[in-house]
C-alpha cells in the first residue's frame, strides 16, 4: 500500500485510529484475480474456523457484515443524522463480493466520500460505508463480530462465539481494559514468540478504576436482563 495515498484521508477527531483503516477500501483493486475476500480488523481473536463466515450467502448484496449493538447503532445514526429506523454495521469484519464491488464501484464511491474535505466522519470509512451501502449489505449473527456492545445485549457463551472484536481505544494488552474476554488475547499471545509481554499502563490506580468499571457494567447487564423479563 502506497502510504502517500493514505495521507490524503482525514482521520476522525478524538479517535485512536490512523489512516491505515482506509486501506481496506482498495482491496477489490488489490485482489483483481479474486471474487471474494474476508476482511478482519487486527484487534480480533478468532475462535472458530472461518469457512462458514467466508461462505455466507450474501443474497446478491455487495458485502456481508455484523450490526453494532443497538445502543451503539442508535448513537451512530444520530451522530450522522440518519434515519433511526435503519441499521448501522461495524466494518471490522466484512465479507466482500469483489466482483460486484468492481462492477458497482461502491468502494471507490466510499473513497470519494471520505476524501471530501467537508465531511466530518468520526468513525472514518465505517461511517462512509454505512452511508454508501445503505441498502446493499447482508447481516450475519453477532457471534462473528462479538463487540463489547453486542456482548452487553446478548448472552452467548464462549464456545458459541466465532470472533471476539476488541473495539474502542483501550485494547486487551492495556491494564485498563475491562473486556470480559481479554484473557483470550493473553491465552493466544502466550502461544506466540511475544509471550511474556507485560501489560501496559499497569498501576494501582488503573487497576482500581478498571475493577470499578467492571462492577458497574455487571450491574447494568443485570438491569438489562431484569428489564427484558418484564
Print burial letters for 40-62: b (CB count within 10 Å at least 16), e (below 16).
Answer: bbeebbebeeeeebeebebeebb
The answer to whether the pTM exceeds 0.75 is yes
The residue written with cell numbers 484473557 in the block is 183
Residue 228 confidence (pLDDT): 64
- Break the chain into its structural domains and give their ranges: 3-143, 170-230
User: Residue 229 pLDDT more than 70?
Assistant: no
Which among 71, 67, 62, 66 has a CA at the least distance from the CA of 87? 67
Cα separation, 24 vs 58, in Å, equals: 19
Q: How does pLDDT run across 38-65, given as a tens digit for each residue?
A: 999 999 999 999 999 999 999 999 999 9
Cα separation of 146 and 29, whole Å?
29
Closest among 212, 206, 43, 11 to 122, alpha carbons compared: 11
**Residues 30, 105: contact at Cβ < 8 Å?**
no
In the predicted structure, residue 8 carries a pLDDT above the cut 90: no
Question: If pLDDT is split at 50, 70 and 90, which confidence band does 116 have?
Answer: confident
| Statement: residue 230 has pLDDT above 60 | no
DSSP designation for 184: H
Candidates 3.90.550.10, 3.40.50.300, 3.40.50.12780, 3.40.630.10; correct CATH number of 3-143? 3.90.550.10
- Burial call 124-151: b when 16+ CB within 10 Å, e when fewer: bbbbbbbebbeebbbebbbbbbbbbbbb
Question: Stretch 187-207: mean pLDDT, rounded?
Answer: 94
The pLDDT assigned to 184 comes to: 95
Phi (first) and psi of residue 66, to 5 degrees:
-120, 135
Give the Å distances, CA to CA, from 127 to 22, 81, 140, 148, 220.
Answer: 12, 11, 19, 19, 28
What's the pLDDT at 221? Answer: 67
Amino acid at each position: 500500500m502506497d502510504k502517500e495515498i493514505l495521507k490524503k484521508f482525514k482521520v476522525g477527531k478524538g479517535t485512536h485510529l490512523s489512516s491505515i483503516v482506509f486501506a481496506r477500501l482498495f482491496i477489490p483493486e488489490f485482489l483483481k484475480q479474486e471474487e471474494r475476500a474476508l476482511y478482519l480488523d487486527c484487534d480480533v481473536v478468532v475462535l472458530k474456523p472461518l469457512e462458514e463466515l467466508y461462505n455466507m450467502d450474501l443474497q446478491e448484496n455487495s458485502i456481508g457484515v455484523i450490526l453494532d449493538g443497538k445502543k451503539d447503532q442508535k448513537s451512530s445514526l444520530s451522530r450522522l443524522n440518519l434515519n433511526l429506523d435503519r441499521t448501522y454495521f461495524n466494518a471490522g469484519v466484512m465479507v466482500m463480493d469483489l466482483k460486484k464491488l468492481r462492477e458497482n464501484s461502491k468502494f471507490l464511491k466510499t473513497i470519494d466520500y471520505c476524501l471530501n474535505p467537508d465531511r466530518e466522519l468520526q468513525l472514518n470509512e465505517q461511517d462512509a460505508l454505512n452511508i454508501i451501502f445503505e441498502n446493499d449489505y447482508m447481516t450475519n449473527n453477532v457471534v462473528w463480530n462479538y463487540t463489547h456492545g453486542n456482548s452487553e445485549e446478548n448472552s452467548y457463551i464462549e464456545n458459541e462465539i466465532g470472533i471476539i472484536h476488541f473495539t474502542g481505544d483501550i485494547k486487551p494488552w492495556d491494564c485498563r481494559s475491562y473486556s470480559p474476554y481479554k484473557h483470550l488475547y493473553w491465552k493466544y499471545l502466550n502461544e506466540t514468540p511475544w509471550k511474556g509481554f507485560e501489560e501496559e499502563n499497569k498501576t494501582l490506580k488503573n487497576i482500581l478504576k478498571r475493577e470499578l468499571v467492571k462492577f458497574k457494567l455487571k450491574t447494568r447487564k443485570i438491569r438489562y436482563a431484569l428489564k427484558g423479563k418484564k
